[in-house]
Amino acid sequence: MAIRPSAARTGGSTKRARAAAKLKQQLPMHLMLLPCIVLVAIFSYYPMAGILIAFQNYNPTKGFFHSKFVGLENFDYVYAMPETMQVLWNTIFIALLKIVFGLVVPVVFAILLDMVRRSFVKRSIQTLIYIPHFLSWVILSGILIDILSPTDGIISFMLKGLGIEPVFFLANEKLFPYILVVTDVWKEFGYGTIIYLAAITSINTILYEAAIMDGASRFRQVLHVTIPGIMPIVVLMATLSLGNVLNAGFEQVFNLYSPVVYKTGDILDTFVYRIGLLNSQYGVATAVGLFKSVVSFIFIVTGYKLASKFAGYRIF
């Protein structure tokens, strides 16, 4: 049956009226997002034009358009550098340890903190473990350098009291990567704990009541109710953290490391800093940064696909 032209026009005008009303209703929210969009465009997308430097023998006085194009020579130069593979290994090793312990420690602590029944004690512990998250690595590095000092540090004082020779932790190649991991987890696990505590509180209490009626111990409740209940959040955080597999923490390493521990403590970000800013090899430094960004993008896409396939979790 053919639709009358007048009916079609009426239906079209109704849809347009609904769309206009919806847009008018949502306009304040779109305007609220506008400053964020502008900031992201200026500070995240506009600087992407600098990727061209990776394929040029860049000269700041000539700019993008007049510097000599060299193709993949910068990437070949980076690959031929003897320290490149060691720096890459250091970055992956430190970042993976941070990702693993940055997931495990907050989950375990959140479960233990959820068992605390006194609200005052619970809130006090939450506040104490959350404070380091707000402190910059400049401040924390100064504190850690004093604590780990081989002459007058607290750790050295305790070792001397036990009759043990003090250790210069920040100048020890073998210990330095683990010091980075431990201090990073100490700084950030309070933030993760709050996320997982929120996930635990969203679990339906009927599940715990059913488990108690079945005779489940506290450990069994955690194993069969709490952990499955927060697993979607754990999967989400793990997926998002895969994008940081080559981000071992520039601020932390830069403020704690020294040439003595370059062999095990130097990472891609500090490597780029020394090549690009200290040695003025802008093309080479940009090539390393571009390589890092591409690999991180591949990891986060792969992690998202795995999370969707095996855990049924989708971000969008």
Could you read off the pLDDT of 169-226 as tens digits, one per residue?
Answer: 888 888 899 999 999 999 988 888 888 888 888 888 888 888 888 888 888 888 888 8
68 contacts 56 by C-beta, under 8 angstroms: yes
Regarding pTM above 0.75, the answer is: yes
CA of 75: how far to CAs of 47, 80, 118, 149, 160, in Å? 20, 9, 58, 40, 49
Whether residue 274 is predicted with pLDDT greater than 60 in this model: the reply is yes
Q: Which has the higher per-residue pLDDT, 139 or 156? A: 139
User: Helix (H, G, I), strand (E, B), or coil: what is residue 57?
Assistant: strand
At 229 the pLDDT is 87
150: Cβ contacts below 8 Å, ≥ 6 apart: 156, 166, 167, 168, 169
What is the rounded CA–CA span in Å between residue 265 and residue 179?
10
User: In the structure, how many helices (H) and strands (E) does the chain have?
Assistant: 14, 2
For residue 265, what is the enclosing H or E element?
helix 262-265
Mean pLDDT across 77-105: 88
Q: Which of 238, 199, 216 has its CA nearest to residue 111?
A: 199
Percent share of the chain, pLDDT over 70: 93
What is the rounded CA–CA span in Å between residue 82 and residue 91?
16
pLDDT in tens, 21-32: 888 888 888 888
Query: In angstroms, how far is CA 254 from the centroid of its own chain?
Result: 17
Mean pLDDT of the chain: 83
Mean pLDDT across 111-135: 85
70 contacts 281 by C-beta, under 8 angstroms: no
* CATH tag, 81-310: 1.10.3720.10
Q: Would you place residue 105 in the very low, low, confident or very high pLDDT band (cuts 50, 70, 90)?
A: very high
Which residue has tokens 């981000």? 247
199: Cβ contacts below 8 Å, ≥ 6 apart: 110, 229, 230, 232, 233
230 contacts 203 by C-beta, under 8 angstroms: yes
Percent share of the chain, pLDDT over 90: 5
In angstroms, the first-to-last Cα distance of the chain is 40
At 38 the pLDDT is 92
Query: In which residue ranges of the chain is CATH 1.10.3720.10 found?
Result: 81-310
Sign of the C-alpha dihedral computed for residues 96, 102, 103 and 104 taken in this order: positive
Whether residue 11 is predicted with pLDDT greater than 70 in this model: the reply is no
307 contacts 239 by C-beta, under 8 angstroms: yes
